[in-house]
Structure 1
Amino acid sequence: MGRHQHARTIVVTGASAGIGRAAARAFADRGDRVALLARGTVGLDAAARDVADRGGTPLAVEVDVADAAAVEAAADRVEDALGPIDVWVNVAFTSVFAPFGEIAADEFERVTRVAYLGYVHGTMAALRRMRPRGAGAVVQVGSALAYRGVPLQSAYCGAKHAIQGFTESLRCELLHERSGVHVTMVQMPAVNTPQFSWVLSRLPRHAQPVPPIYQPEVAADAVLHAADHPERREYWVGASTVGTLVANALAPGLLDRYLARTGYDAQQASAPRRPDRPVNLWEPADGPAGHDYGAHGVFDDRSRTRAPQVWASRHHAALGALAGAVAGLGVGVAAWRRAAAG
């Protein structure tokens, strides 16, 4: 996508790594002012350099999105430094990979506070500023797991389901108000991000995204499109997301049994889990003693750089018209054949 005629002020949470990092770079490519919200100074500083190098204006703000007051203060700082917020993108999360019975209550609560309430806090801060102006967009980065839970990720799946319900309620309220503020959700497939190298895991082998795996730039491109077209209620990214959601709608019980059989092995790579690996549940993995993880995880050689299905998600109206035309043609041909036979 090319540059906008006018630069916008964008907030990206979880901007130091993964999808957030890739999205920040993509907004910077268009000359936007990008506020980078995350824990950990190493990744934040590197993300700010990325934005500046690509032609954007960066503002790095170290914040834990689980802290509502800190998120509100961060929003004030953004508007003081960069101007009114046009787009707020919620990405930040943390997780635990383990069977539910092996997750402690405080760990489950921490995931919920970051991965769910972090979105609520960000959305609250954004709407306090956007609603009076009657303009703005909130983009919630979701997952196919917002619709379909999988084993070993009960805390994360619960958070994503919660975001889905919360966003639907909010969308209805904004429509009732005839507000010019829009909220949309982008449901992602498995993405090659650093989270699999720093997530708290009790699995015997290294955690991995369930193939097919996509690069973070595919996700970032979808985030940008959603920010430009937030009137759509949601976007599905990747054929695997579509397949999962359709299968769950048609045969959820069958999918339960399939995931019970395959879900444990599919979420683990062949290499054993390193006991000395970093964990970012309570503290950032890229703290003072850490390093910059960037946007990509360790699965580059297995990840896709394109998702042709994204075009279909963006052009559903055109596809619907085409399908209608094809159906109409079929009806016309059938009628012609009946007439010819008569």
Structure 2
Amino acid sequence: MQLKPIAQQVVTVVGASSGIGRETALRFAQRGAKVVVAARGQTGLESLVNEIRTGGGDAVSIVADVADFNQVKAIADYTIATYGRLDTWVQVAATGVMAPFDQLTPEEFKRIIDVDLMGQVYGAMVALPHLKREGRGALIHISSMEGRRSMPLQSAYSSAKHGIEGFLESMRVELKHEGIPISVTSVKPAVINTPFYNHVRTKLGVKPTGIPPYYQPSLVADAILYTAEHPTRDFIVGDIGKILDVLQRLSPPLVDALLLLIAFPGQRTNEPKFESAEDNLFEPMPSDNRVEGDFGHLTIPSLSDWLMRHPTITAMLIGSILVTAAFLAIS
């Protein structure tokens, strides 16, 4: 399966006003792609388009709530109306509530499913016809390591991310059965330093946090741009995410025990924040359109991501290690 170089692509990024989506849109534009950005917040989109155009890039924006199918369809229609085609669709938009399950209301749980799962489904539904017409393209869905291993205090978010994984697996095989060369990628970030923890609703009495260490949003953008040119099934972002994936496969009870020790204190800061505070569950937060969040001091690099993006060098390194091991064994 051959995908176009990014400089020749028309890319739609849904959930682009802040965080991973904003960084990704900027990076696509810097690489020469024509970019359509969508989100609920008009202020964030306008500042993003201005930033892209100031840097010499080509971008337009459209306001949409991904929980509404017709609004998501409008994003695809606007992409085609503006640029005539679609090559890559990136679905990032997400929201959440940090709370024990028994403190969630039905409306809150449903809203998270509508945005975090159904928004992903709607995105694929509206993008696929255009990608099929082009005869190739990429669907890139931003899931989470919580699609492999659920976290306490995030039951609705974890449910949505598990749903994304099941949905993508089914769709991927259907496309292969039809012989349609469309790449379907699940990007699974570990804990990322975005404003997500400022935006979500909390019932913990304090500002929530992910369990450190964090990784910077640029690392996820690297993965997204890589998979836009190189068909990839899954891309786990962050060394810790890959370690968690292995542990979950080996022993879910062991991960249960680890989370009992670290997940409840580890997802709380000491900064008071109450349920009445502003959040983005039902309405956008136009005042916060940053790429990075408040936890830059807790971020670390990830060697495994670099290796995944450079498979030839990785294969050479593994080959050298095997040859060296064989030589030492013979000696």
Per the alignment, residue 233 of structure 1 pairs with: 233
The aligned runs of 1:179-328 (5 Å cut-off) are 179-229=180-230, 231-274=231-274, 277-286=277-286, 291-304=287-300, 306-316=301-311, 319-320=314-315, 322-323=317-318, 326-327=321-322
The aligned runs of 1:86-235 (5 Å cut-off) are 86-229=87-230, 231-235=231-235
Q: 2:205, 2:275 within 8 Å by CA — same for their partners in 1? A: no
Change (3 A) 1:135 1:260: same
Q: 1:236, 1:313 within 8 Å by CA — same for their partners in 2? A: no
Moved more, 14-23 or 252-261: 252-261
For the residues of structure 2 that align with 1:34 and 1:294, how far apart are their CA atoms? 19
Q: 2:99, 2:153 within 8 Å by CA — same for their partners in 1? A: yes
**TM-fit CA distance, 1:283:** 0.9
SS across alignment from 2:67: coil
**TM-fit CA distance, 1:225:** 0.8
Describe the superposition over 1:7-46 as per-residue Cα deviations: whole angstroms up to 9, x where unpaired. 4211001100110011011111112211111001111111
| Alignment size in residue pairs | 327
SS across alignment from 2:124: helix
Gaps of 5+ in 1: 338-342
Describe the superposition over 1:108-157 as per-residue Cα deviations: whole angstroms up to 9, x where unpaired. 01100100110110011110111132111011112111100010011111
For the residues of structure 2 that align with 1:270 and 1:14, how far apart are their CA atoms? 29
Q: 1:15, 1:36 within 8 Å by CA — same for their partners in 2? A: yes
The structure with the largest alpha-carbon Rg is 1
SS across alignment from 1:88: strand
Q: 1:146, 1:164 within 8 Å by CA — same for their partners in 2? A: yes
For the residues of structure 2 that align with 1:245 and 1:330, how far apart are their CA atoms? 27
Could you tell me the TM-score, scaled by structure 2's length? 0.93
For the residues of structure 2 that align with 1:167 and 1:275, how far apart are their CA atoms? 33
The amino acid that maps onto 1:139 is I
Q: 2:6, 2:32 within 8 Å by CA — same for their partners in 1? A: no
Moved more, 295-304 or 88-97: 295-304
For the residues of structure 2 that align with 1:15 and 1:122, how far apart are their CA atoms? 14
Gaps of 5+ in 2: none
Per the alignment, residue 340 of structure 1 pairs with: none
SS across alignment from 1:213: coil
SS across alignment from 1:214: coil
Per the alignment, residue 73 of structure 1 pairs with: 74
For the residues of structure 2 that align with 1:222 and 1:319, how far apart are their CA atoms? 16
The amino acid that maps onto 1:253 is P
The amino acid that maps onto 1:243 is I
The amino acid that maps onto 1:49 is N
Could you tell me the TM-score, scaled by structure 1's length? 0.90
**TM-fit CA distance, 1:302:** 2.6
Moved more, 165-174 or 114-123: 165-174
Q: 1:26, 1:220 within 8 Å by CA — same for their partners in 2? A: yes
For the residues of structure 2 that align with 1:57 and 1:12, how far apart are their CA atoms? 13
